[in-house]
Amino acid sequence: MRALDYIRAGSIEQAVNTHSKSQTAFFLAGGTTLLDLVKLDVMQADQVIDVNRLSLKQIEVQKDGSVRIGALVTNTALAHHPYIVEHYPVLSQALLSGATTQLRNKATTAGNVMQRVRCNYFRDGYSPCNKREPGSGCAAIEGHNRGVHAVLGTSDQCIATHPSDMCVALSAIGARIEVQGAKGKRSIDFLDFHLLPGSTPWKEHALQDDELITHVLLDAPLANSKSGYLKLRDRASYQFALASSAVILVMHGTTVGEVRIAMGGVGTRPWRALEAEHALKGVTLTPHNMEKAAAIALQGAKPYRHNAYKIALGQQAIVRNLSTLTA
Ligand SMILES: Cc1cc2nc3c(=O)[nH]c(=O)nc-3n(C[C@H](O)[C@H](O)[C@H](O)COP(=O)(O)OP(=O)(O)OC[C@H]3O[C@@H](n4cnc5c(N)ncnc54)[C@H](O)[C@@H]3O)c2cc1C
Ligand code: SF4
């Protein structure tokens, strides 16, 4: 096992400055992703900077109804916060569908955004994997690619899905990621935060090396909306999505006033289905129109040997979610 330095940061500035001096330092939050991968030597750390003492644990409701979530707010605290439960059911449901109670008690908001892929070949530490070892190949493309491999946003370099449930809800809601680095603060639109694998699958997000996520800012909830998260998986608990959908819906009678749709389990990043939303706005929400929009959402899909079923499953995740919200 590799030796590493453990540093407990007393301030954001200390965390960021320490990180900026090392190429192989990682921030430690709940540790539910990081510690596994460091022990497996998949993430090679020479320094771990514990950020748990930083004052980033608040959930603040703003005057306009939007919400500012501290990076260290746990998945449990966020899922059960009364304002989130009432105004963002899609987010609460997505969080509660993830992992287990014990894991959610440790897992943080920023850690969830930054979690790594669940591809077996990435995690085994020796198979060809462009994400772990650039240029080594991708064992999943011709290998076992049924569960945690994507049909949208893939490349000939990497096909792993983004595993987060929470991030699918954030894509539908609309959010910004606030970060602080050695050069100052900035904020990043959530839809631009996770990167497609393209020819550089080891670059997963828009953070600079030394930047710490400090907050996630949720857009204000849509007035008179209903929302829900539907996760389809091999078993009902402790399992990642094969396909999932986050839907936010505002109806004017039987007509769709506003709709937001995002998908999990099918894309290499949390997948916002903007064209499907466009197809539904202003139309009557009939079964035919729901199926048409769901087909549009998956129209660019590229199946691999074992995951072609995800195209139909992803469509059903959208149709069922819409139907449930209007039942
Ligand atoms: C058995 C198991 C089942 C799971 N099932 C699900 C599931 O069904 N759905 C789901 O969505 N997730 C699931 N997860 C993943 C879980 O949600 C993540 O492990 C968790 O959210 C990560 O949060 P953390 O605080 O523990 O992050 P850590 O492990 O501490 O960190 C994860 C990454 O984020 C970085 N990081 C942490 N904080 C910051 C910050 N403030 N700024 C910048 N970078 C930061 C770390 O350096 C590291 O690279 C599962 C995990 C396990 C182990
Ligand atoms: S799908 Fe991505 S993470 Fe998995 S082996 Fe291929 S390159 Fe690695």
Does the C-beta of 107 come closer than 6 Å to ligand 1? yes
Count of beta carbons in the 10 Å neighbourhood of residue 50: 15
Does the C-beta of 140 come closer than 6 Å to ligand 2? yes
Cα 307 to ligand 2 centroid, rounded to whole Å: 15
Count of beta carbons in the 10 Å neighbourhood of residue 99: 20
Cα 125 to ligand 2 centroid, rounded to whole Å: 11
On the 0-12 / 13-18 / 19+ scale of CB atoms within 10 A, 17 is middle
Compute the radius of gyration of the chain from its Cα atoms. 19
Q: Which ligand is nearest to the CA of 109?
A: 1
pLDDT tens, residue by residue, 31-61: 999 999 999 999 999 999 999 999 999 999 9
What tokens were used for 34? 């990081």
Count of beta carbons in the 10 Å neighbourhood of residue 25: 21
Average pLDDT over residues 48-76: 98
Phi, psi of 276 (to 5 degrees): -65, -40
Topology of domain 1-52, per CATH? 3.30.43
On the 0-12 / 13-18 / 19+ scale of CB atoms within 10 A, 195 is middle
Does the C-beta of 95 come closer than 6 Å to ligand 1? no
Does the C-beta of 190 come closer than 6 Å to ligand 1? no
With H, G, I as helix, E, B as strand and everything else as coil, classify residue 168: helix
The overall longest dimension of the chain from CA atoms, in Å, is 62
**Residues 85/86/91/93 CA torsion (nearest 10 deg):** 60
Phi, psi of 321 (to 5 degrees): -65, -45
pLDDT > 90 in the chain, percent: 97
Report the alpha-carbon distance of residue 84 to residue 77 in Å, rounded: 10
Residue 175 binned pLDDT confidence (cut-offs 50, 70, 90) = very high
Cα 225 to ligand 1 centroid, rounded to whole Å: 29
The predicted pLDDT at position 299 comes to 96
Is the distance from CB of 322 to CB of 227 less than 8 angstroms? no
Is the distance from CB of 150 to CB of 266 less than 8 angstroms? yes
The predicted pLDDT at position 236 comes to 87
Give the helix/strand (H/E) hosting 192: helix 190-193
Average pLDDT over residues 108-133: 98
pLDDT tens, residue by residue, 252-261: 999 999 999 9
For the chain, the structural domain boundaries read 1-52, 226-325
Q: Is the pLDDT of residue 21 over 80?
A: yes
Q: Average pLDDT over the chain, rounded to whole?
A: 97
DSSP notation for 18-41 = HHHT-TTEEEESS-TTHHHHHHTT
Residue 23 CB contacts under 8 Å (≥ 6 apart), including other chains: 209
Average pLDDT over residues 148-173: 98
Does the C-beta of 121 come closer than 6 Å to ligand 2? yes
Q: Is the pLDDT of residue 112 over 90?
A: yes
Q: Is the pLDDT of residue 1 over 80?
A: no
Note the CATH architecture for domain 226-325.
2-Layer Sandwich (3.30)
Q: Is the pLDDT of residue 159 over 90?
A: yes
Q: Name residue 61's beta-bridge partners.
A: 67
Does the C-beta of 160 come closer than 6 Å to ligand 1? no
Residue 23 binned pLDDT confidence (cut-offs 50, 70, 90) = confident
Q: Which ligand is nearest to the CA of 160?
A: 2
